[in-house]
Amino acid sequence: MSQSNTNPPITRSWRDIPQPMRREQLGREGKKRLLMATGNIVGVVLVLGAAAWGVYDIVNLWETNPSRITAPTKGLPIRDFVVRTDGVLDKSWVQRTLELPKAASLMELDLADLKRQLEESGQVSKAVIERRFPDVLAVTLQERTPVTQVMALIGDAAPVSFMVARDGMVYSGFGYDPVMAGELPFIDGVKLIREGYGFVRIDGMESVADLLGTAQVSAPALYRSFRVVSLARFALDRTLAVKSTEVELITFGASQDSFYRQIARLDYILEETRRQEGVGQLKSVNLAVGDKQVPIAFDTTQNARSSTAAPVRPAPGSGTSLFSLPYRNSSPTQRDF
């Protein structure tokens, strides 16, 4: 006996019959729907592309020239400046330097250009400018500190004094106390070269700043006697030549020994020579050579004589001698070397 198939037969429908239709067989409504779908896709692509381009254009414009974004609607004019600084410049100097139009608004300003104007003065080493809406411009300044002065001849005009900072920047200088500025030593042995709105920086000023700073802290009276610091030989042998009211020429070595030790030796030599009678005025002291004996010279036009109790012994017939320094002296009136 044969076993019958228990699975029911598959029922077929007219939907299972392939019904291929060519494009030309579409009716009017079908063609219309196809065109609309295609148009919608193209439209979406165009809108997205335009939006992306608009965003890029706005960002680029904001970074390069933000004033064009708000040119049609200028906004409120700048009402005030807020100026913070670690130096002497004030709000009036910032306003004069920037020379902003009276009706200028915050969004019209090119902050990068304003920053450049402030730093071109030379006195400002770094400027940060911020918009504080709706109408305040905030300026933060980091200033250079003058170390020396330098005289410059510009054209046929009279000599002009400029300030020189530790990094060698030469600038006019505004707002400094006249007494303080007038007491700064002058720098010599340099050539000022024009560069842009200012001058090429002076090499060797870091060593000059270290020397003067050490003298100002450890021997203020000695520092006040310094009048001129020369860099004429610095590139050759790293020596600094100083003219003071007490010694015509003092030579310091920037690479031989610490400036503190050299200044202590100079202070000791000056003190000992003052205690002697008739030795004359010191003409030169060379601290760049020698450790225990420092070459010194006296003004030979004066009647100099030596003292047996003093360490200064000029050679017969000349004003040159070697000053013998003690190895260590614990007296409170003298420095340890």
> Tens digit of pLDDT for each residue in 222-234?
999 999 999 999 9
Residue 50 has phi, psi (to 5 degrees) of -65, -40
Tell me the two tokens of residue 325. 């320094």
Across 270-279, b (16+ Cβ under 10 Å) vs e yields bebbeebeeb
Of the listed ranges 22-36, 76-90, 268-282, the one predicted with least confidence = 22-36
Judge if the upstream peptide bond of residue 311 is cis by omega within 30 degrees of 0.
no
pLDDT band at 64 (very low <50, low <70, confident <90, very high): low
Alpha helices (H) in 162-298, listed in sequence order:
178-182, 205-218, 220-225, 234-237, 259-275
pLDDT for 169 equals 98
Is it true that the peptide bond before 134 is cis, omega within 30 degrees of 0?
yes
Q: Is the pLDDT of residue 180 over 90?
A: yes
Write the CATH number of the domain with boundaries 80-143: 3.10.20.310
* Contact predicate 110/117, CB 8 Å: no
Nearest alpha-carbon partner for 214 in 173, 148, 267, 260: 260
Domain boundaries, the chain: 80-143, 146-324
